[in-house]
Structure 1
Amino acid sequence: MGVGAGRFAERRLGGSGSGGAAGGGPGRERAPGRERAPARSPRWVRVLLAGLVTAAVVVPLTAAVRPGIPAPDPADLAPVTASTLEGAYAANRANAELAARTAAGHGDRHRAAADRALAVPSRRLLFFDGRGSGRVAEVFGDLAHTGRVAVLVPGSDTSLDTYERFHTAAAALHRGLTRQAPAGSGTAVVAWLGYTTPATVSTTAVTPGRADEAAPGLREFVRGLRGVTGPDARITLLCHSYGSVVCGRAADGLDVDDLVLLGSPGTGADSAADLRTRARVWAARGSDDWVAEVPHAAVALLGTTVGFGTDPVSPAFGARVFFAGDGGHSDYFRPGSACLANLVRIVLGETSEVTRA
């Protein structure tokens, strides 16, 4: 079933603002004799998380919320299919150009430049919404004629204003896929900025609210992709940082073949099996990624849950853990890196070639 390009990620998210069977796919067994973590975490974890919440509340007040940036409503398009893709791309580019002119008229040159970059003829936008922090889904490759699709879900501090770095990661993955794909086989990458991401230092970065809001839109977006690519295409979801929390919340019901967690603080699930997805679940963390220092616990605090539970690269979680090299939190798609090479293999289905950690 096709989904309107302007509604790929908006239908359940609201416009104003990274069905599975039970089991996490093949993975590592839970360590023998290892018990599930007790419901109540050690006192030091609760104190540390309480301090983080306090800091997260205080620090963002100095940056406050950026004044609203006016922008036109998203293009009102019919459901997107393989035959209507080019028309959808053109309509969304036109909307991005209009948003750029509106932002410029409002005196926001930075947003105007970001919108204008998305409006050039070479960009393929499945949807675009310039309102607020902005939302966009951009395609790299020929989505209508491919058997392998990778969807990137970003983490915190990703918006139209910072979109270029997300674009760079998706483009690097697509170049790697193009070089390594068998002759005659098509590949495509989609950069999905379909939700309002949290600020890195904020309560929203350590609580699941934004992920809960985003999950229905991600499920709908993947269903819409099936309406373009057909049921036989293999779809891999690559979820970075807080984006892995989004993917964890959406996993039960996502029609994807592989689910990859990169630099993840946790998914909110105790194990890969608890994600209730038919997809193979993978996880990786660079040796210089600061996320390793984040307490892997989930604690009821101040009326919400703080933290995201089991470390996805731990044996207890049960994912297929692969080698990510010595990179930091922003290096998973770095050209020439061990991690990018492994991501290419996973997307292409060359799973026996993936270097395990």
Structure 2
Amino acid sequence: MPDRPRGARRFRALLAALVTFAVAVPVSGAARPAAVPAPAPSVHGPLRDADPTALARRYAVSRQDIRAAERAAAEHGDLRRAASLREMAEPGRRFLAFDGRDGGRSTEVVGDLSAARRVAVLVPGAGVGLDAYWRLRRDARALHRELGADAAVVAWLGYRTPAAVGPAALTAGRADEAAPGLRALVDGVRAMLPGARISLLCHSYGSVVCARSARGTAADALVLYGSPGVGAPDAAALRTGARVWAGRSGGDWIARVPHVRVRVPFVATVGFGTDPVADRFGAGVFDAGDGGHSDYLLPGSRSLTNLARIAAGAEPLEASR
């Protein structure tokens, strides 16, 4: 008898995941926006050299790529995309890479990467793209201010993020595509800065991306926040030498997402399994305050304080009692 309520809850969770998947498929297919054309970007070599002059040349080339994509967007008639790209190309912005095609990819540095002792890589989740890039930039700047001048924050929009509502956000397909690029970035930063502390800060669907790149990562910390699960039953299954942390704020709607994995025949595995903040997952759980799903890096928040502390190698503050 004691197992019946648990079995009923699991059944309802499985059913909810399946219904969500069934509804999202036609909705996302009907709402897919037309692609904005952009030219092929410049080809960069792998990150190896922390020399400020070499980095400045790389930033300058990426700025040219952004401006070329801006012109293409304007000619296409997409003024919103063109305006976003115009901001990204402003003097003083530092991009290690940019590609305006297929939804857009970018890797921006906030701070002085050449001299950084601590590097935090922000990995965003579903619904983040070039048209609303300012949000990711805002979060990166807030984290950099919290970490201090001897740190650098890398905002890594290095993959085709899934739509916030749609089947791609319920499966690991996009994360599998993204993982090699994230692993290469971390390896490059480690080669440049062998003595620096590197942390992966992984929000929402971005936590699935980080989990897929975790095995053998050169990062020192892997931080999962606002996560729907990562497709692994526990932290040990990630097979990483990085210390794994997890947090979820009190006002985050993602707590209501079923933490299950369901195999939909001939389609995909839907859902991401164990909740990373659950005891059985085995991560270090930090206090993420009471904000919403998009509020983890808001200035003055407990979540920002603790994310910065973890990135700096300090223990997070405990919840007040």
TM range (shorter): over 0.9
Contact 1:321 1:356 in 2 (8 A): no
Instruction: Determine the structure 2 residue equivalent to 1:241.
Output: 204
Q: Deviations over 1:124-145 (max 9, x none)?
A: 0000001121000000111011
Alignment TM-score, normalising by the size of structure 2: 0.93
5+ unaligned residues in a row in structure 1: which ranges?
1-37
Alignment TM-score, normalising by the size of structure 1: 0.84
Contact 1:139 1:189 in 2 (8 A): yes
1:1-357 equivalences in 2 (<5 Å): 42-63=10-31, 65-80=32-47, 81-83=49-51, 84-178=54-148, 186-229=150-193, 231-303=194-266, 304-351=268-315, 353-355=316-318
| Helix, strand or coil at the partner of 2:279 | coil
Deviation at 1:272, TM superposition (A): 0.7
- Structure having greater relative contact order (Cα 8 Å, sep ≥ 6): 1
Greater helix proportion: 2
Contact 1:140 1:174 in 2 (8 A): yes
Contact 1:143 1:228 in 2 (8 A): no
For this pair of structures, how many residues does the alignment match?
Answer: 309
Contact 1:263 1:286 in 2 (8 A): yes
Deviation at 1:356, TM superposition (A): 5.4
Mapped partners of 1:228, 1:124: distance in 2: 16
In terms of mean alpha carbon deviation, does 127-136 or 65-74 score higher?
65-74
Percent identity between the two aligned chains? 54
Instruction: Determine the structure 2 residue equivalent to 1:13.
Output: none
Mapped partners of 1:252, 1:77: distance in 2: 25
Deviation at 1:234, TM superposition (A): 0.6
Q: CA RMSD in A?
A: 1.5
In terms of mean alpha carbon deviation, does 136-145 or 219-228 score higher?
219-228
Mapped partners of 1:78, 1:207: distance in 2: 31
5+ unaligned residues in a row in structure 2: which ranges?
1-5
Contact 1:141 1:189 in 2 (8 A): yes
Mapped partners of 1:294, 1:265: distance in 2: 7
| Helix, strand or coil at the partner of 2:61 | helix
